[in-house]
Structure 1
């Protein structure tokens, strides 16, 4: 991964002109250059009008709704979040639709239990040392622990690794390379009574199996907790009791009255939190920012060329269910009208990096942790980098993993891009040099925890990222688009400065990092 900074050159000018010809890059009114201020000037007034004070008003409202709890889809507090966004969007004059959908609700009924019975007995703290995984099976088991492919991130990704696995024991695996669900399914098929998956980076591991189906209890742990069970002869207790039932939740869709309905820019952020906290960075930050952008757009009586459709997704934390439902509800003709999707999921992390989705797959090649960027996604990525360069800020890539709400859009071949400031991943020394903050610490120490409150949001980072959001929304609202080919980043970037290697991580959903 690289932290990009622009160096003005003739080559950069040629590349920028190529971006304009491709159709998805921002349109400039003067000859473009490697640090094109003309396109930035076009959005200056709008960016100034989109304020952190306005965003914070919404963040504080979300925190008040949570009232010391959470805003989980399928609960009254999430419904109150829906009502809040709906009322604000309607008051701004947007055309609002609330889209209901049923989903498999899954949450702890009682705190999960993880104990090391022997040797050196220890009781671990739920929500700190470990967490039950969403869609885990229920059970209370005490058994010997069997490590699988010790120390390998690929542990448990194939059935062959479980050859000779002693049925009736608890499988212990390291996170990485394939989804939690795949690891758990192989372990269960081999006769495991329970599954412990430990993290391969700093912090806890609060993940999901993606859907119901696994019948044994599955928990994720910190690296230290998991590695503390590698000793031969270790016995552990795992207890999970989760409710599984069908509930109804909602997406909120609010679009500009004007703009070409055959050329739609979808701007999305998920509205729900995890059960453990109010979700003010994850993802109140994205939801509040696009709400402030939508209100400002309407207040300034902007007349877009393209129709802008703001979307607040439900049940993202259960596996991108809201955005999946929305995309699945559209006919092919309706999908063809969507020019691109912009996604903003966590943009106020306390130990932040200015991450841009790697839509051209240049920093993170296609593989288990990176999805193919549909044609045009690379141009959207470059538009964000060009913006940050123009205002004198570094930016870095994060994998185009598809594990946020842009995933269902790119699965249909719709170009996408967006921003992210980091989740449970660890900030590298190089990133700390470029962005400040603390090396060796998570980007968000409160990721998926009770402390993800208003005080968890980095106001400087939120200000910088929300300006980039405002710039992108206004810029893309003014253009018609073509499905641009992927762009060679070597032809786009005149210079590259060293950044970090991590990409931020974000294992809300099925992990494959």
Structure 2
């Protein structure tokens, strides 16, 4: 999923129980291409066409959602996942932004879409990329396990040595390190030690640097890795993180040495955009998933799963289906380093083009091995700590919940709009949004395990952002259910936007 966090808060997908019974579709299934490891060939069957043309059908076929849901399947998505893993393995083991593996994944998606009758574009954008090598912290002569935060500057060659300064000095500060006053009296050139908290990590690093700190150590609030980034914050200093237990052993004034070997580059990357030739160009339904992985691995669940599921649906829908609204498919680049591809795309749209987007649907991690069945809480009625989406987001939540139930899921739950995936820039632009998610680092509750299966007390995806996120990390049942639900919801909104107000 999504990017490393820029803030100190934790992601908590939790209960927002909505169970809505719907009848499962039962219609003839369209055959896949003969070879499971390659995209459907030109001319392969889709769910039906109108004959093309830029004006499209005046009204969508109400039977489309059921036919599309019946046509797609987890096997088709899994074939694309195999290809994504092969491409990663052939290119240093990942599909991270700015790498040959990512470019190869773009080529696979583009070729598959063109073979399915789509006109495809790959708009480019500029992005800062980050890589890290050595990360070492020594305190009072003893090594302390540490990790570098994304987009941290490097320390000087050979590292830096300075006393630790625990900030702020007031116990139980609810916003540690978030205010300039927290760094008052800190010795110049010290290494500031601050607990994870509510504000952005970049803000902590910038404030510490402005007060004269040579570096910052962030103490996590749990004994776990801290996948975090400083983002595009100016004025930051070298910043690393330690676990809660390691942080508790640090003392004010201890002599410490820190080595961070990092590289920040400016590069060009690409999104992939494909749109049906049919449907009303004045009301567009956009469905998206991020195509990049983290550098640590092949990213087969995060987010090969969402990308592969979306590609399977696009293949079966075809380029000129009987839709009422145009359907635009998007595969975003550079999501893992700050939602860059989707943000640049939305920022590049004119006001008129933004207004033409009726709805955005986001699919990020839909095959977690210990899966949750989570729907973004469009109106924040579940009180999960996120924000409400623009009007129409509640309809997206309801339709997606119904679609999961129709695919055989017992009691889908809500998950917060917390800004960690590509719906973020669309919501910021006032575009209603929704989406599905099977969970990342948070743990499955006993109640969830009872109704969904799996293991309580274990994270939804133990391989999140690690090298073991491979094909063996995919739950085939979750993938199949989510592909079906995604197709049902995309099909519904392609022919019927009831509940989504015109802007």
Q: Determine if the alignment matches structure 1 residue 117 to structure 2 residue 136.
A: no
Aligned mates of 2:119, 2:441 — CA distance in 1: 36
Give the one of 420, 423, 432 matched to 1:403: 420
CA contact (8 A) 1:106 1:245 kept: yes
Give the one of 248, 251, 260 matched to 2:271: 251
For structure 1, which segment, 148-157 or 392-401, has the greater mean C-alpha deviation from structure 2 after superposition?
A: 148-157
Aligned positions of 1:306-325 closer than 5 A: 306-325=325-344
Number of equivalent positions: 445
Would the alpha carbon gap of residues 232 and 417 (structure 1) be closer, same or farther in structure 2, given more than 3 Å must change?
Answer: same
CA contact (8 A) 1:202 1:425 kept: no
Aligned positions of 1:112-151 closer than 5 A: 112-113=135-136, 115-118=137-140, 121-124=142-145, 130-139=146-155, 140-149=159-168
How far did residue 338 of structure 1 move?
0.3
Q: CA RMSD in A?
A: 2.5
For structure 1, which segment, 52-61 or 233-242, has the greater mean C-alpha deviation from structure 2 after superposition?
A: 233-242
Please list the CA deviations of residues 273-312 of structure 1 after superposition, one character each: whole Å capped at 9, or x if unmatched. 111111111111111110011111119x631111110000
Aligned positions of 1:411-426 closer than 5 A: 411-426=428-443
CA contact (8 A) 1:71 1:78 kept: yes
Aligned mates of 2:417, 2:22 — CA distance in 1: 26
Give the one of 345, 348, 358 matched to 2:367: 348
Please list the CA deviations of residues 389-418 of structure 1 after superposition, one character each: whole Å capped at 9, or x if unmatched. 444522122111222111111111000011
Residue of structure 1 equivalent to 2:472: 455
Aligned mates of 1:459, 1:225 — CA distance in 2: 38
CA contact (8 A) 1:138 1:215 kept: no
Would the alpha carbon gap of residues 168 and 429 (structure 1) be closer, same or farther in structure 2, given more than 3 Å must change?
Answer: farther
Aligned mates of 2:438, 2:489 — CA distance in 1: 17
Please list the CA deviations of residues 197-229 of structure 1 after superposition, one character each: whole Å capped at 9, or x if unmatched. 2333563112211215244211234434434x4
Aligned to 1:112, the other structure's residue is in SS state strand
Would the alpha carbon gap of residues 274 and 226 (structure 1) be closer, same or farther in structure 2, given more than 3 Å must change?
Answer: farther
Would the alpha carbon gap of residues 137 and 420 (structure 1) be closer, same or farther in structure 2, given more than 3 Å must change?
Answer: same
Aligned mates of 1:429, 1:172 — CA distance in 2: 36
Aligned mates of 1:348, 1:312 — CA distance in 2: 17
Residue of structure 2 equivalent to 1:106: 130
Would the alpha carbon gap of residues 147 and 347 (structure 1) be closer, same or farther in structure 2, given more than 3 Å must change?
Answer: farther
How far did residue 386 of structure 1 move?
2.6
Would the alpha carbon gap of residues 459 and 203 (structure 1) be closer, same or farther in structure 2, given more than 3 Å must change?
Answer: farther
CA contact (8 A) 1:345 1:404 kept: yes
How far did residue 321 of structure 1 move?
0.9
Residue of structure 2 equivalent to 1:2: 15
CA contact (8 A) 1:342 1:417 kept: yes
Aligned positions of 1:43-192 closer than 5 A: 43-67=65-89, 68-108=92-132, 110-113=133-136, 115-118=137-140, 121-124=142-145, 130-139=146-155, 140-149=159-168, 154-192=175-213
What TM-score results when the alignment is normalised by the length of structure 1? Answer: 0.80
Would the alpha carbon gap of residues 352 and 165 (structure 1) be closer, same or farther in structure 2, given more than 3 Å must change?
Answer: farther
Residue of structure 1 equivalent to 2:5: none
Would the alpha carbon gap of residues 187 and 431 (structure 1) be closer, same or farther in structure 2, given more than 3 Å must change?
Answer: farther
Residue of structure 1 equivalent to 2:294: 274
How far did residue 480 of structure 1 move?
3.8
Would the alpha carbon gap of residues 404 and 153 (structure 1) be closer, same or farther in structure 2, given more than 3 Å must change?
Answer: farther
Give the one of 193, 198, 212 matched to 2:219: 198
CA contact (8 A) 2:25 2:69 kept: no
Would the alpha carbon gap of residues 199 and 457 (structure 1) be closer, same or farther in structure 2, given more than 3 Å must change?
Answer: farther
Q: Determine if the alignment matches structure 1 residue 328 to structure 2 residue 328.
A: no
Residue of structure 2 equivalent to 1:508: none
Please list the CA deviations of residues 238-297 of structure 1 after superposition, one character each: whole Å capped at 9, or x if unmatched. 322222221110000011121111110000011111111111111111111100111111
Aligned mates of 1:95, 1:481 — CA distance in 2: 28
Aligned mates of 1:446, 1:147 — CA distance in 2: 33
Aligned to 1:347, the other structure's residue is in SS state coil
CA contact (8 A) 1:103 1:246 kept: yes
Residue of structure 1 equivalent to 2:481: 464
Aligned to 1:241, the other structure's residue is in SS state strand
Q: Determine if the alignment matches structure 1 residue 445 to structure 2 residue 462.
A: yes
Q: Determine if the alignment matches structure 1 residue 382 to structure 2 residue 404.
A: no
Alignment gaps of 5+ in structure 2: 1-13, 28-62
Would the alpha carbon gap of residues 142 and 348 (structure 1) be closer, same or farther in structure 2, given more than 3 Å must change?
Answer: farther
Aligned mates of 1:138, 1:373 — CA distance in 2: 38
Aligned mates of 1:424, 1:153 — CA distance in 2: 24
Aligned positions of 1:482-501 closer than 5 A: 483-484=500-501
What TM-score results when the alignment is normalised by the length of structure 2? Answer: 0.82
Aligned mates of 1:163, 1:320 — CA distance in 2: 34
Aligned to 1:84, the other structure's residue is in SS state helix
How far did residue 105 of structure 1 move?
1.9
Please list the CA deviations of residues 26-84 of structure 1 after superposition, one character each: whole Å capped at 9, or x if unmatched. xxxxxxxx524388986444323212211111111111111152111112221111111
Aligned mates of 1:324, 1:94 — CA distance in 2: 24
Aligned to 1:258, the other structure's residue is in SS state coil
For structure 1, which segment, 278-287 or 193-202, has the greater mean C-alpha deviation from structure 2 after superposition?
A: 193-202
Aligned mates of 2:427, 2:491 — CA distance in 1: 22
Aligned mates of 2:26, 2:218 — CA distance in 1: 46
Give the one of 231, 241, 262 matched to 1:242: 262
